[in-house]
C-alpha cells in the first residue's frame, strides 16, 4: 500500500521517527548531496519506493571508510540500493586530464572529496560490511554504463562488469520507473530476481552451468577474450547498444571464467501517463534543509523542467543511449505546464 509522501526522504533516524517509521524497509546510499528534485535520480527512486509502500531512509555521501556510517536507521528489512549519484564518480572527481577537480558540483559548497573513486563499488562493499546478507541493488549512471566489460579511462585499463568488483546482487540499468518497485517487491516477497527486465546479475559456477544459452541470448566476448584481444571491446559495446531496443533486444551473456553475467533486455519505456505520475510526486524541489551552503548542481537545474528522456543520436562520446535508450519519451503537455 502506498505511503504518504513526506516533504523529504528522511536523512536521519529522527526524521524517520517523525513519520512514524521505527524502522525502514529500504536504505538508499548515494554519492551526491540530497536534493529533492526529479533531476536527481535518487529523489525519484526514493519516492517510487515510498509510493510502492516501502519505508525509505537515505544516506548521502557517507564516510566510505566506516561501515557504522550506514547504521543510522538500523538494519533495513528488505534491501539496500546504491548509486554513485547523478554522474560516474570518476567524472565527479577528475578532469579529462586526470587531475583532481577543485570542486564537486554535487556536494554542499562544491566541496571535493565527499565521495570515493568508483563510489558504487566502494559503497556496495561498505553495505556488505555493515549488513551482511542484505540484498544490495546497484543503480544510476555509473552502474548502468559499467554493467559489462568496459574501458576505464582514469585507470587506463579494462574493468569487468561492475557486479564482479562490487559483489552486489543486481544492477538495475537505465530508468527505474518500471523496474525499481518490481525488484524491491520481489525481494520483499522472497521471489527470484531472475528474468527481471532492465537488470544484470552474475551467476556463480553452478547456476552458470545450469543456465541455457539459447536463441533468446547473445553471447558477448568473455572477460578473458577481452584481455587477449582489444577488438573484443568494440564488439561488446556495439552489441550492447544495438540490443537496447526494448521490443527486439535480446538477453546478453558474458563469461567471467566459470561465472556468467546475464543482462536482461531493457524494459519498455514509461508511457507519458507513467512519466506524468512520477513527476506529480510532491518533490520539494530544493536541497534537504540540513544543508546550509549552496549545492552548485542544484543552482544549474533549480529552474529547469524535465520534459523528455532518451535520444536517438548515439554520439560516440555519449553514454545516454546505453542508459536511457534511443526512444524519446515525453511527459504530457499538461504535466509539463503543471
Q: Report, in Å, the least distance between residue 267 CB and ligand SF4.
A: 20
**Is residue 320 at the binding interface for ligand SF4, with CB under 6 A as the rule?**
yes
Q: Can you tell me whether residue 286 is helix, strand or coil?
A: strand
Question: 3-state secondary structure string, 187-236?
Answer: HHCCCCCCCCCCEEEEECHHHHHHCCCCCCEEECCCHHHHHHCCCHHHHH
Q: Report, in Å, the least distance between residue 245 CB and ligand SF4.
A: 15
Among 2, 4, 96, 315, binds ligand SF4 (CB under 6 A): 315
CA distance 42 to 142: 13
**Is residue 314 at the binding interface for ligand SF4, with CB under 6 A as the rule?**
yes
Q: Report, in Å, the least distance between residue 174 CB and ligand SF4.
A: 14
Q: Report, in Å, the least distance between residue 308 CB and ligand SF4.
A: 10
Among 100, 194, 305, 318, binds ligand SF4 (CB under 6 A): 318
- The residue (of 196 and 324) whose beta carbon lies closer to ligand SF4 is 324
Q: Can you tell me whether residue 163 is helix, strand or coil?
A: helix
List the grid coordinates of 213: 544459452
List the x/- string, 259-298, binding to ligand SF4 by CB under 6 A. Answer: ----------------------------------------
Nearest residue to 202 (alpha-carbon basis) of 122, 116, 143, 129: 143
CA distance 159 to 150: 5
> Of 294-313, which residues contact ligand SF4 (CB under 6 A)?
311, 313
CA distance 169 to 163: 7
Residues lying near ligand SF4 in the complex (CB under 6 A): 311, 313-315, 318, 320-321
Amino acid at each position: 500500500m502506498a505511503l504518504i509522501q513526506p516533504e523529504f526522504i528522511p536523512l536521519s533516524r529522527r526524521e524517520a521517527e517523525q513519520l512514524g517509521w521505527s524502522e525502514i524497509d529500504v536504505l538508499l546510499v548515494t554519492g551526491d548531496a540530497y536534493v529533492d528534485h526529479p533531476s536527481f535520480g535518487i529523489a525519484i527512486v526514493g519516492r517510487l519506493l515510498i509510493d510502492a509502500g516501502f519505508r525509505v531512509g537515505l544516506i548521502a555521501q557517507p564516510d566510505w571508510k566506516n561501515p557504522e556510517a550506514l547504521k543510522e536507521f538500523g538494519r533495513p528489512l528488505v534491501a539496500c540500493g546504491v548509486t554513485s549519484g547523478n554522474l560516474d564518480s570518476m567524472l565527479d572527481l577528475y578532469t579529462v586530464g586526470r587531475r583532481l577537480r577543485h570542486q564537486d558540483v554535487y556536494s554542499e559548497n562544491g566541496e571535493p572529496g565527499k565521495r570515493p573513486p568508483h563510489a558504487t563499488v566502494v559503497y556496495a562493499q561498505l553495505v556488505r560490511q555493515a549488513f551482511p546478507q542484505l540484498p544490495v541493488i546497484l543503480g544510476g549512471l555509473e552502474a548502468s554504463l559499467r554493467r559489462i566489460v568496459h574501458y576505464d579511462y582514469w585507470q587506463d585499463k579494462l574493468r569487468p562488469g561492475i557486479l564482479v568488483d562490487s559483489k552486489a546482487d543486481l544492477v538495475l540499468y537505465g530508468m527505474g520507473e518500471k523496474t525499481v518497485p518490481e525488484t524491491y517487491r520481489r525481494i520483499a516477497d522472497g521471489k527470484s530476481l531472475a528474468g527481471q527486465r532492465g537488470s544484470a546479475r552474475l551467476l556463480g559456477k553452478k547456476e552458470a552451468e545450469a543456465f541455457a544459452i539459447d536463441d533468446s541470448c547473445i553471447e558477448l566476448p568473455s572477460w578473458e577474450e577481452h584481455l587477449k584481444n582489444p577488438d573484443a571491446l568494440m564488439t561488446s559495446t556495439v552489441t550492447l547498444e544495438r540490443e537496447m531496443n526494448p521490443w527486439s533486444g535480446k538477453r546478453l551473456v558474458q563469461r567471467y571464467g566459470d561465472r556468467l553475467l546475464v543482462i536482461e533486455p531493457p524494459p519498455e519505456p514509461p508511457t507519458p501517463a507513467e512519466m506524468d505520475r512520477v513527476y506529480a510526486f510532491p518533490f520539494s524541489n530544493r536541497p534537504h534543509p540540513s544543508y546550509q551552503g549552496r549545492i552548485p548542481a542544484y543552482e544549474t537545474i533549480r529552474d529547469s523542467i524535465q520534459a523528455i528522456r532518451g535520444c536517438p543520436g548515439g554520439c560516440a562520446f555519449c553514454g545516454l543511449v546505453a542508459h536511457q535508450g534511443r526512444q524519446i519519451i515525453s511527459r504530457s503537455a499538461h504535466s509539463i505546464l503543471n
